[in-house]
């Protein structure tokens, strides 16, 4: 696998991902509407994303595509005439998918429509009501506590009308039709780590993948959460059998430890590959068994599909205090964390691409490595080089029943070291690939 883009400085790659996040941050996205459309259009300037529009009312398994939501403005005018909870100041202020309203009411009637976070009184929560008509505002708990009695004017200039659901798709073809699925959600408004970091990383990864030689085809989905993956699965059911490995990409920009949530299968190749890399890094990480909640892995891992799709993130779903609040902002993410996340995703791709089953052509006793220049010449193996151990492991396990990942797991050597050893042995005509 050539690696031109690694020549590019990590700093530049990090800055580019940060710039992408900053550019997309102000847009008010939802599961439908112009916010998603604009987001995908901008990604499409970097990678040749195909946009799909699926009309309102389309049946997708047990669901149907909802009306399209768009919003222009929203605010509350207090009894003393101040405008608060202004959408134009922060798009989290409006309950996502709020129906339009323009009414006056007293505080008692308003209260059920106000959402706050008492445990973080300065933060605005992120709330949605996609599938039940409702309206509401999110605000800081401190502001909420300061509201006086009196008459309030409530204004939401939104529309909820027949339209379509938009998602972006990019198939990067490889030698084979077997696919690797990469999926991120694009439905969150101004939230930086939870969804923008995933969008930024997956865009970068897409650019890199297009430049690599590829055995696998890579399918990148930029979709609204839940309804988006359901829609894609319903429209592409026959393609799911090609998916051999997959990852849901999100929350990859904060400085927290890596978290891997396993696929429902629990020991799929993708699970073992990611966990091998995390263990080799030697830093703390979180390994989480599959549970039927979180992001779109819920749909990919539903029993009727049971795809080998895990989720590789840093701080994970619901596990960091800023999750689904205004504090998940540009300060929470940083270029270094994004770059390290991208590097890890690339390493996963490299394991997937390079994994091979070998058979030794000299299975009886060790072949003589010395005469092939593969072995330390002055004997007395009191201090053996790691490289040689990788050679010996590969030879010992090259019985046609172990792939490189098996060898890496059993030996404790990094997959890359095992792969290099295998390639050296193959070059020396000591190994043969099993098709």
Smallest separation (angstroms) from a copy of itself to the CB of 193:
14
Smallest separation (angstroms) from a copy of itself to the CB of 434:
13
| Of 173 and 318, CB closest to a copy of itself | 318
Piece of 15-23, 75-83, 242-250, 390-398 that binds a copy of itself (CB under 8 A): 390-398
Cβ proximity of 144 and 114 under 8 Å:
yes
Our finding on whether 101 is near a copy of itself (CB under 8 A) is no
Piece of 73-81, 172-180, 334-342, 379-387 that binds a copy of itself (CB under 8 A): 379-387
| Of 60 and 348, CB closest to a copy of itself | 60
Site residues for a copy of itself, window 265-304 (CB under 8 A)?
291-293, 298-299, 301-304
Kindly tell me which residue out of 23, 142, 146, 368 binds a copy of itself, with binding defined by CB under 8 A.
Answer: 368
* Residue 239 buriedness (CB in 10 A; 0-12 / 13-18 / 19+): middle
Our finding on whether 381 is near a copy of itself (CB under 8 A) is yes
Give the x-and-dash track for 173-212 against a copy of itself (CB under 8 A): ----------------------------------------
Rounded to whole angstroms, the Cα distance separating 389 from 376 reads 11
- Residue 306 zone, left/alpha/beta (φ > 0; ψ -120 to 50; rest): left
Cβ proximity of 133 and 112 under 8 Å:
no
| Of 356 and 396, CB closest to a copy of itself | 396
**Nearest 10 degrees: Cα torsion 225, 228, 231, 237:** -80
Our finding on whether 236 is near a copy of itself (CB under 8 A) is no
Give the x-and-dash track for 102-141 against a copy of itself (CB under 8 A): -------------x---------xxxxxxxx-x-------
Find residue 77's DSSP bridge partners: 83, 153
Cβ proximity of 2 and 213 under 8 Å:
yes
Q: Please give the angle made by the CA atoms of 52, 56 and 57, to the nearest 5 degrees.
A: 125
Our finding on whether 237 is near a copy of itself (CB under 8 A) is yes
Cβ proximity of 432 and 358 under 8 Å:
yes
| Of 213 and 379, CB closest to a copy of itself | 379
Piece of 10-18, 44-52, 385-393, 417-425 that binds a copy of itself (CB under 8 A): 385-393
Q: How far is CA 110 from CA 103, 113, 149, 158, in A?
A: 10, 6, 11, 18
| Of 98 and 341, CB closest to a copy of itself | 98
C-alpha closest to that of 425 among 377, 382, 387 = 387
Our finding on whether 147 is near a copy of itself (CB under 8 A) is no
Which 3 state secondary structure label does DSSP give 194? helix
| Of 169 and 334, CB closest to a copy of itself | 169
Smallest separation (angstroms) from a copy of itself to the CB of 64:
9
Piece of 69-77, 156-164, 327-335, 356-364 that binds a copy of itself (CB under 8 A): 356-364
Cβ proximity of 219 and 179 under 8 Å:
yes
DSSP string, 22-60: HHHTTS---SSSHHHHHHHHHHHTTS-PEEEEEETT-EE
Rounded to whole angstroms, the Cα distance separating 286 from 295 reads 17
Our finding on whether 367 is near a copy of itself (CB under 8 A) is yes
Which 3 state secondary structure label does DSSP give 369? coil
Our finding on whether 413 is near a copy of itself (CB under 8 A) is no
Kindly tell me which residue out of 39, 98, 315, 411 binds a copy of itself, with binding defined by CB under 8 A.
Answer: 411
Kindly tell me which residue out of 148, 284, 331, 382 binds a copy of itself, with binding defined by CB under 8 A.
Answer: 382
Rounded to whole angstroms, the Cα distance separating 210 from 215 reads 12
Kindly tell me which residue out of 144, 252, 393, 422 binds a copy of itself, with binding defined by CB under 8 A.
Answer: 393
Kindly tell me which residue out of 93, 264, 314, 419 binds a copy of itself, with binding defined by CB under 8 A.
Answer: 264
Structure tokens at 103: 């009414």
Residue carrying structure tokens 């409530």? 154
Structure tokens at 51: 């946009």
Site residues for a copy of itself, window 36-75 (CB under 8 A)?
60-63
Residues that bind a copy of itself (CB under 8 A): 60-63, 96, 115, 125-132, 134, 226, 229-230, 233-234, 237, 264, 291-293, 298-299, 301-306, 318, 323-324, 360, 362-368, 370-371, 377-382, 384, 389, 392-393, 395-399, 411
């Amino acid at each position: 696998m050539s690696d031109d883009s690694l020549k590019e400085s990590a700093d530049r790659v990090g800055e580019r991902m940060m710039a992408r996040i900053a550019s997309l941050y102000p847009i008010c996205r939802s599961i439908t509407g112009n916010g998603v459309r604009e987001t995908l259009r901008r990604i499409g300037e970097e990678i040749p994303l195909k946009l799909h529009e699926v009309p309102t009312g389309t049946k997708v398994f047990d669901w149907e595509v909802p009306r399209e939501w768009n919003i222009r403005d929203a605010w509350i005018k207090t009894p003393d005439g101040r405008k608060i909870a202004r959408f134009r100041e922060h798009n989290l202020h409006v309950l996502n998918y709020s129906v339009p309203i323009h009414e006056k009411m007293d505080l008692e009637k308003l209260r059920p429509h106000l959402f706050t976070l008492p445990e973080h009184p300065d933060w605005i929560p992120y709330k949605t009501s996609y599938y039940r008509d409702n309206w509401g505002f999110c605000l800081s708990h401190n502001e909420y506590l300061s509201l006086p009695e009196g008459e309030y004017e409530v204004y939401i200039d939104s529309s909820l009308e027949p339209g379509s659901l938009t998602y972006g798709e990019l198939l990067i073809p490889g030698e084979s039709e077997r696919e690797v699925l990469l999926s991120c959600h694009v439905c969150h408004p101004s939230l930086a780590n939870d969804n923008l970091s995933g969008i930024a990383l997956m865009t970068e990864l897409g650019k890199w993948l297009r430049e690599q030689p590829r055995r696998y085809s890579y399918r990148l989905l930029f979709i609204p959460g839940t309804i988006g993956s359901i829609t894609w699965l319903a429209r592409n059911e026959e393609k799911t059998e090609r998916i051999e490995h997959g990852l849901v990409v999100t929350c990859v920009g904060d400085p927290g430890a890596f978290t891997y949530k396993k696929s429902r299968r629990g020991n799929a190749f993708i699970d073992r590959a990611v966990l091998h890399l995390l263990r080799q890094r030697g830093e703390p990480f979180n390994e989480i068994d599959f549970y039927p909640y979180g992001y779109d892995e819920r749909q990919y891992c539903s029993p009727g599909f049971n795809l080998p799709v895990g989720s590789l993130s840093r701080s994970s779903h619901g596990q960091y205090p800023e999750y689904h609040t205004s504090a998940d902002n540009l300060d929470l993410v940083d270029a270094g964390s994004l770059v390290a996340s991208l590097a890890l995703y690339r390493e996963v791709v490299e394991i997937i691409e390079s994994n091979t089953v070998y058979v030794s052509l000299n299975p009886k006793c060790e072949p003589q490595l010395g005469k092939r220049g593969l072995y330390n010449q002055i004997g007395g193996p009191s201090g053996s080089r790691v490289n040689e151990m990788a050679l010996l492991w590969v030879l010992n396990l090259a019985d046609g029943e172990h792939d490189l990942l098996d060898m890496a797991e059993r030996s404790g050597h990094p997959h890359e070291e095992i792969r290099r050893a295998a390639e050296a042995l193959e070059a020396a005509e000591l190994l043969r690939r099993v098709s």
